[in-house]
Amino acid sequence: MRALILAAGVGHRLAPLTDRQPKCLLPVGGRSLLERMLESLSAVPVSEAVIVVGHCQDQIRRVTGSRFGRLPVRYIENPEYTRDSIRSLWVCRDELDEDSIVMDADVLFPTAFLRRLLACPDPSALLIDRGFTDTGEEVKVYARAGRVLAIGKKVLEPPPHDTVGEAIGFFKCAAAHGPALRECMEEVLRDQSRYREYEDAIDLLLRRVRVGWVDTGGLPWTEIDFVEDLRRADEEVLPLIQRLGDHA
């Protein structure tokens, strides 16, 4: 199992904090989001971390180097990092020959999230939070009978479902499903009038293979898109995670 960390984007909504610094290197409790993520990955059965870099990539390389604790680290450059997130997943398409966890780099979370996702019996699965508040900004996941049927920020006609949750930004992808996901990415890149993000490729994949889901179980986490998210991460979410005695 390898981790594919998507850390190439500019993070415009956090400007000016991200004008000269990658979003994943913003500090929470004195340590960067990326360092906390790699520490959590070091605590679970993951063989290596592959970081997709772009904006201010030299800073990321300096911070994490070629190894973080026991965890080997490699880098793949996304030369089109100012464009859509699908391009970050596309540049690491050849890494999908092994079971992988695709991870957004802007999430503060407890290590228990990774343990839950890895323990999910479905070879491919999404981590979701069913206790989310719908503000319109969330990437939503719709499922029925344990199978994910749709994912997206704006699913115009949700399918019949018995479960809906917010996508955390972590997707476990079985090596056996890698070729199908690559084909779905190709479709997204061919039709940029309809598709833009890597979640669009996962949504297409759902029509071809079974993807399960696992819930966060009410554990604390936050995605960091805005300055207020960073404040909340520092003052509210991190103390809750630390109270669990878990890595973060």
Q: Give the whole-angstrom CA distance, residue 196 versus residue 87.
A: 9
Q: Give the whole-angstrom CA distance, residue 78 versus residue 81.
A: 5
Q: Are 23 and 227 within 8 A, CB to CB?
A: no
Q: Which fold has domain 2-122+169-207+222-243?
A: Spore Coat Polysaccharide Biosynthesis Protein SpsA; Chain A (3.90.550)
Residue that is written with structure tokens 């070091």 in the block: 42
Q: Helix 33-42 and helix 112-119: axis angle, to 10°?
A: 50
104-124 pLDDT, tens digit each = 999 999 999 999 999 999 999
Most confident of 190-194, 229-233, 242-246: 229-233
User: pLDDT category, 14, cuts 50, 70, 90?
Assistant: very high
Q: Are 166 and 139 within 8 A, CB to CB?
A: yes
24-57 pLDDT, tens digit each = 999 999 999 999 999 999 999 999 999 999 999 9
216-225 pLDDT, tens digit each = 999 999 999 9
Q: Give me 59's structure tokens.
A: 């800073």
50-87 pLDDT, tens digit each = 999 999 999 999 999 999 999 999 999 999 999 999 99
- Residue 133 three-state SS: coil
- The whole model's pTM is what? 0.95
